[in-house]
Amino acid sequence: MTESEGAQATAHVQIRGLRTALNGKRIFDRIDLDIPRGKITAIMGPSGTGKTTLLRHITGQLAADAGEIRVDGKNVPDLSRKALFKLRERIGYLFQNSALLTDFNVFENVAFPLRQHLRLPEALVRNIVLMRLQAVGLRGAAELMPAELSGGMARRVALARAMIRDPDLMIYDEPFVGLDPVALNQILKLIRVVNDTLGITSILVAHEFAAVRRSVDHVCLIADGKLIAHGSPQELAEGDSPWTRQFFGGAADGPVPFQYPAGDYAADLGFPESPA
């Protein structure tokens, strides 16, 4: 086995030389990044740094300007439409806003991927859905509509739907947004239990380092188009980089700017130039 093959075997997702620019703004600048197989990896960084964009690259929703994005050894940009859809069948995705279908009840939301992609007897569909709802503690809510759910309950229904087809890779995009402490802890526990019970790889995008450090194995910090730091939560918390000190310590001043890049402020307000 070559060194490259060995790296691919230990990394479920391997990114090399990724370059992306959107609307003239550089998002990624030749970034290299590995997602270890069988672990929970958090993608973190300042707002607007491209964390969700990275997830879209991994799932083939957005093409990069350059670079390789290998998922289970397959280079996503090179895949045909048919091969890409086949790869996506092995990926579960939890959206930021849960993305439940408002006209379907909880049961039908979770059953939706089975009905769309497989031809299964109704009795088997029912058993699979109820098993997944039991796993997230919501079997008794099967007949409720999305409007009747709290934020934490909706997130758990979305999780049941995302894992309905036993994925190899689970992706969580901002799973903690808008959750109260109780619901947040429930989701944290579920992510850990799902990962360990199914033996899968998980990627989550989040900002809450205090929560993340309790449940993840690996953290990748992205900023300014590059991978700034990576390692265990403890390693990053103890790191001496100004990026890690500011981001994980919450300091107002540091390399992460508060202001979005802009021209001269006085000129924008129409003030005359100061005399030389």
Is pLDDT above 70 for 29? yes
pTM: predicted TM-score of the whole model, two decimal places: 0.80
Is pLDDT above 50 for 196? yes
**Region of poorest pLDDT, from 3-17, 55-69, 130-144:** 3-17
User: Which SS3 state, helix, strand or coil, does residue 8 take?
Assistant: helix
As a whole number, mean pLDDT of residues 51-55 equals: 92
**Region of poorest pLDDT, from 194-198, 254-258, 271-275:** 254-258
As a whole number, mean pLDDT of residues 163-179 equals: 87
| pLDDT level of residue 2 (50, 70, 90 thresholds) | very low
Read off the pLDDT of residues 109-135 as tens digits, 9 standing for 90 and up: 999 999 988 888 999 999 999 999 998
Query: Rounded to whole angstroms, how far apart are CA atoms 218 and 212?
Result: 10
What is the β-pairing status of strands 40-44 and 11-22? unpaired
As a whole number, mean pLDDT of residues 37-64 equals: 90
**Beta strands, E only, 60-210:** 66-71, 74-75, 91-94, 169-173, 201-205
Say what the pLDDT of residue 151 is. 83
